[in-house]
Amino acid sequence: MDVSPPNGIAKGSGKAGGCTRDLAHRFYNEQYQIHEGKQNRYVTGSDSAGLVMGFSPLGLVRTYWSTIKIVRYSLLTIACMLAIGFITRYSGIDATLGLAFANTGWLYPLFGTMLGWLGVALTGSDTSSNVLFGSLQRITAEQLGLSPTLMSAANSAGGVMGKMIDAQSIVVASTATRWYGHEGDILRYVFLHSLVLAALVGVLVSLQAYVWPFSALVVR
């Protein structure tokens, strides 16, 4: 790449890269034009970023390995939580919990929201919680004469409040801040906040299920 001009290459001069004088930007702009523009040799984003920052290929490997060593317990915990999510789904625990919540009758909008909260707390993912309980929420809502759309949304909204207490997020946070061994402390600090916020979302969902004008906001 021609980066010798002190103020970059003039736009319209016929050379790639425009007028930038930034080597990193030039590199990213042209990394997919390697090998005389044949586009048959590529550099991955992470590797190219390391090369731009001055890392050698061996240095990149050493950095990757040291990172893996730091987060090894986090990776193990995340794998275990994913396993719990699959066990919950395929053993029928989710269906059992859903049927138990359905017996709450007119209180189901509140407990359905808490079900989404519980799903994220167990699986670590709002998406996984929706996969686990989404169909159950729809079926139960139809049986109770509630809006399936509302209860599906309640599952997601309640799940967001459970994100702060799921094991994956807590372990990743403790690892990122190098506060190893304090996962229990983090959980104790945020558990009450998570529970109260999920309950507030449940109250709002209940209002949208039964009380006008909140019920007018529900898409049917």
Instruction: Give the SS3 label for residue 56.
Output: coil
pLDDT at position 110: 92
Positive or negative, the CA dihedral 104, 108, 112, 118 is: negative
Helix runs in 124-216, H state only:
126-144, 148-162, 167-176, 183-210
Domain termination site, one of 69, 85, 119: 69
> CA-CA distance, 116 to 122, in Å (whole number)?
10
Nearest by Cα to 2 from 171, 14, 139 = 14
In this structure, the answer to whether residues 44 and 78 fall within a common structural domain is: no
pLDDT in tens, 79-116: 777 777 678 778 877 677 767 777 888 999 998 999 89
φ and ψ at 151, to 5 degrees? Answer: -75, -30
pLDDT in tens, 113-145: 998 998 888 877 887 788 778 778 888 888 888
Structural domain harbouring 30:
1-69
Number of independent structural domains in the chain: 2
181: pLDDT strictly greater than 90? no
pLDDT at position 161: 93
In this structure, the answer to whether residues 23 and 128 fall within a common structural domain is: no
In this structure, the answer to whether residues 118 and 212 fall within a common structural domain is: yes
In this structure, the answer to whether residues 172 and 199 fall within a common structural domain is: yes
φ and ψ at 181, to 5 degrees? Answer: 80, 5
Say if residues 133 and 155 touch (Cβ distance below 8 Å).
yes
